[in-house]
């Protein structure tokens, strides 16, 4: 379980194809998140929950990435030198400063445009059509593992009739996360609010009584 509050920007050291050919072994430099991490622990990498399989001893960790994760998230496009957002699992009893983030990515969004403001930037992203129903103005969404508030929604404005999502990034977010360097055409992992998905499931199955 995570909060979407990024602890540091890590750097991808290597992406090595795994034994299956379609999987990969990811090595990421993150001195802060590895300072008290052990094999078996969970770390969110750009919003994807990965299990630490090893520690290099010099501030980096390794993780196995399954074919399904490479297919369904933006991790498949990572290469050596790329920056990624890192967050350790939340401690029980700690403050939930963002929102409940599982690290289970629902889809990948694409940045359409970026509008600089006096102190913040406004981003417009295209969201996969099936995820639009889970988004609400002033609701929560995680982009590349960053907990953000939905600033505005534009339904039906994409070619596929889906939703365009707007978020506003404050200076702290621009400085502390990879969203500060995102450019039009870049892809980011999206996780919608888990509460919305549970409500939909309850209503669909008649479980709400």
Q: What is the pLDDT of residues 78-121, one digit of tens each?
A: 999 999 999 999 988 888 888 999 999 999 999 999 999 888 99
Q: Among 28, 55, 88, give the residue marking a domain's end.
A: 88
Q: Is the pTM above the cut of 0.75?
A: yes
Residues 65, 121, single domain; the answer is: no
Q: Which domain holds residue 133?
A: 107-203
The residue ranges of DSSP E strands in the chain, in sequence order, are 8-17, 24-29, 42-45, 48-55, 60-65, 83-88, 107-116, 121-127, 140-143, 146-155, 163-169, 187-192
Which pLDDT belongs to residue 199? 87
Q: Is residue 209 part of a domain?
A: no
Q: What is the mean pLDDT of residues 9-30?
A: 91
Residues 129, 188, single domain; the answer is: yes
Confidence bin at 205 (pLDDT 50/70/90) = confident
Q: Among 53, 88, 123, give the residue marking a domain's end.
A: 88
Residue 116, domain CATH: 2.40.30.20
Number of domains in the chain: 2
Residues 84, 150, single domain; the answer is: no
Residues 191, 117, single domain; the answer is: yes
Residues 74, 148, single domain; the answer is: no
Residues 66, 150, single domain; the answer is: no
Give the SS3 label for residue 186: coil
Q: Tell which wins on pLDDT, 193 or 20.
A: 193
Give pLDDT tens digits for 146-183: 999 999 998 776 565 668 999 999 999 999 999 999 99
Confidence bin at 209 (pLDDT 50/70/90) = low
Using an 8 Å Cβ cutoff, are 142 and 81 in contact? no
Q: Among 60, 88, 116, give the residue marking a domain's end.
A: 88
Q: Is residue 99 part of a domain?
A: no
Q: Is residue 96 part of a domain?
A: no
Residues 137, 164, single domain; the answer is: yes
Strand partners, 16: 25
Q: What are phi and psi of 194, to 5 degrees?
A: -60, -30
Which pLDDT belongs to residue 207? 66
By CB atoms closer than 10 A (0-12, 13-18, 19+), residue 182 is buried
DSSP 141-185: EEETTEEEEEEEEEET-STTS-EEEEEEE-HHHHHHSGGGG--TT
Q: What is the mean pLDDT of residues 114-143?
A: 92
Which pLDDT belongs to residue 159? 60
Residues 54, 131, single domain; the answer is: no
Residues 49, 132, single domain; the answer is: no
Q: Indicate whether 196 pLDDT > 70.
A: yes
Which pLDDT belongs to residue 78? 95
Using an 8 Å Cβ cutoff, are 189 and 103 in contact? no
């Amino acid at each position: 379980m995570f909060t979407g509050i990024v602890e540091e920007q890590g750097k991808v050291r290597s992406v090595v194809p795994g034994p299956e050919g379609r999987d990969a072994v990811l090595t990421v430099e993150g001195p802060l998140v590895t300072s008290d991490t052990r094999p078996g622990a969970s770390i969110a990498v750009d919003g994807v929950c990965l299990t630490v399989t090893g520690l290099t001893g010099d501030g980096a960790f390794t993780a196995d990435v399954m074919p399904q994760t490479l297919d369904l998230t933006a991790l498949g496009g990572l290469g050596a030198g790329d920056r990624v957002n890192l967050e350790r699992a939340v401690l029980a009893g700690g403050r939930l400063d963002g929102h409940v983030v599982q690290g289970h990515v629902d889809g990948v969004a694409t940045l359409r445009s970026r509008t600089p403001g006096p102190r913040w930037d406004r981003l417009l992203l295209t969201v996969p059509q099936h995820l639009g129903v889970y988004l609400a103005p002033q609701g929560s969404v995680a982009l590349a593992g960053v907990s953000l508030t939905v600033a505005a929604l534009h339904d039906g404005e994409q070619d596929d009739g889906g939703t365009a999502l707007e978020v506003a990034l404050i200076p702290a977010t621009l400085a502390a996360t990879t969203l500060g360097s995102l450019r039009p055409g870049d892809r980011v992992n999206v996780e919608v609010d888990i509460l919305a998905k549970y409500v939909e499931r309850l209503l669909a199955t008649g479980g709400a009584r």
